[in-house]
């Protein structure tokens, strides 16, 4: 009995350590003013700010290159003021930049290779010789709904993988927190969050055929009054949206419970699942293998995503968590890291 008690206490101590990990500052990035998106890959860190792209070395955090400006040329980008920010996606030693009505391809260090004209409003991410994107489709009521789709290398839709419950167009509505339909390609498979069904991730092959499902019994967190207030305040204060408050206010509603999954990243032969549960201000991260077997849980410091802020400033890479942090006292952006071995 004594041995069992000691073992139990040891396990409890390990669990407590797992939930109290703290990020360590590893670099200052003085060039940044208002970073909007963050991605890491190709041994590089890619950060966007308006139409500018910053490329840093992942080894020593030196600035390798900064490029991009408003326009329609090879090193120029157009942004939709109501859409997502510019995103630079690292993939196979290149970066793919999806801007309004254009996909641009660069070397990992920002040398221009080629570009494609595409439909506006869509954000494409590379997957093998294809692309993944959020697109519009119609439900049984003929309402326009957001869906996740697989596109060929000519940017033609090949197959819809998941139809969400988020209405757009004339039937537009926002039920917060929005059910996730995050998606990503990893190796030769596609991982899609089926948010309207709970803690569910469907896994597809490269042609879009479903292989298996990751499903977990999970009790989600409650939606707080503070979250509701922050969301409404965001729409009334954001520079791009506040003038349309009268339009939005009757189309915003709130769930009683948060969705089970907030976001996923698939890398390092792991699935990193962020939920809405909090501990000491940090967010729960469930780490699983590629078949969905849970390995451990940690709590990582991410900023709460409010309103239409869907692109966070964090990333997972080489079994570590990275995050951009603004040091307001020193007026500089810092890069912080947590090892998740």
Q: Where are the domains of the chain?
A: 2-30+122-339
Give the model's confidence band at 12: pLDDT under 50 very low, under 70 low, under 90 confident, else very high.
very low
Mean pLDDT of 113-141: 92
What is residue 220's DSSP assignment?
Answer: P
d(Cα 79, Cα 100) in Å, to the nearest integer?
Answer: 5
Higher pLDDT, 132 or 138: 132
Residue 192 pLDDT > 90: yes
And the tokens for 38? Answer: 């963050």
User: Order of strands, edge to edge, in the sheet holding 24-29?
Assistant: 24-29, 332-339, 320-327, 314-316
- Express each pLDDT in 207-253 by its tens digit: 999 999 999 999 999 999 999 999 999 999 998 899 999 989 999 99
| The pLDDT of residue 265 is above 60 | yes
Return the H-helix or E-strand segment holding 110: none
3-state secondary structure of 179: coil
Model confidence pLDDT, tens digit, residues 194-216: 999 999 999 999 999 999 999 99
Q: Which parts of 32-171 are beta strand (E)?
A: 37-41, 44-49, 52-57, 63-67, 69-70, 76-77, 87-91, 94-99, 102-107, 112-117, 124-127, 130-138, 144-151, 157-168
pLDDT at 28 over 80: yes
pLDDT of residue 85: 86
Q: Which residue, among 86, 85, 161, 96, has the nearest Cα to 129 in the 3D structure? A: 96
Please state the rounded mean pLDDT for residues 98-127: 94
Contact 258, 226 (CB under 8 A): no
CA angle, 202 then 222 then 326, to 5°:
85
Q: Residue range 95-117: average pLDDT?
A: 95
pTM of full prediction above 0.85: yes
284-337 pLDDT tens trace: 999 999 999 999 999 999 888 899 887 778 999 999 999 999 999 999 999 999
4 pLDDT band (50/70/90 cuts)?
Answer: very low
- At residue 138, the pLDDT reads 86
Distance of CA 96 to the CA centre of its chain: 16
Q: List for the chain the helix, strand, coil content (%; round to 5).
A: 15, 50, 40
Q: What mean pLDDT is predicted for residues 81-109?
A: 92
Q: Give me Rg for the CA atoms of the chain.
A: 20
What percentage of the chain carries pLDDT values higher than 90? 77
**pLDDT value of position 228:** 96
Is the pLDDT reported for residue 150 higher than 80? Answer: yes
pLDDT for residue 5 is more than 50:
no
pLDDT at 293: 97
- What is d(CA 98, CA 187) in angstroms, rounded to the nearest whole number? 21
CB neighbourhood size of 170 (10 A) = 7
């Amino acid at each position: 009995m004594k041995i069992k008690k000691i073992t139990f206490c040891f396990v409890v101590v390990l669990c407590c350590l797992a939930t109290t990990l703290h990020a360590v500052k590893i670099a200052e990035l003085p060039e940044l003013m208002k970073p909007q998106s963050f991605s890491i890959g190709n041994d590089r860190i890619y950060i966007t700010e308006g139409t500018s792209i910053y490329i840093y070395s992942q080894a020593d955090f030196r600035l390798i290159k900064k490029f991009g400006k408003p326009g329609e040329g090879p090193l120029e980008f157009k942004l939709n003021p109501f859409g997502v920010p510019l995103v630079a996606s690292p993939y196979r030693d290149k970066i793919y930049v999806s801007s309004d009505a254009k996909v641009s391809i660069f070397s990992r260090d920002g040398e221009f290779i080629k570009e494609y004209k595409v439909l506006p409003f869509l954000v494409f991410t590379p997957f093998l010789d294809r692309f993944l994107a959020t697109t519009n489709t119609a439900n049984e009521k003929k309402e326009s709904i957001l869906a996740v789709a697989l596109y060929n290398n000519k940017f033609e839709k090949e197959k819809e993988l998941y139809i969400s419950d988020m209405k757009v167009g004339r039937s537009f509505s926002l039920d917060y927190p929005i059910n996730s339909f995050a998606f990503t390609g990893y190796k030769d498979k596609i991982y899609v969050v089926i948010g309207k069904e709970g803690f569910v991730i469907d896994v597809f092959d490269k042609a879009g055929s479903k292989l298996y499902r990751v499903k977990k019994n999970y009790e989600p967190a409650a939606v707080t009054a503070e979250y509701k207030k922050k969301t409404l305040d965001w729409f009334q204060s954001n520079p791009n949206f506040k003038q349309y408050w009268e339009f939005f206010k009757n189309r915003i509603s709130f769930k009683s419970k948060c969705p089970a999954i907030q976001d996923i990243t698939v890398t390092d032969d792991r699935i990193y699942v962020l939920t809405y549960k909090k501990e000491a201000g940090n967010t729960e991260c469930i780490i699983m293998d590629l078949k969905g077997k849970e390995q451990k849980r940690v709590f990582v410091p991410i900023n709460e995503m409010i309103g239409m802020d869907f692109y966070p400033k964090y990333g997972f890479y080489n079994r570590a968590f990275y995050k951009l942090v603004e040091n307001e006292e020193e007026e500089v952006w810092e890069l912080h890291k947590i090892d998740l071995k």
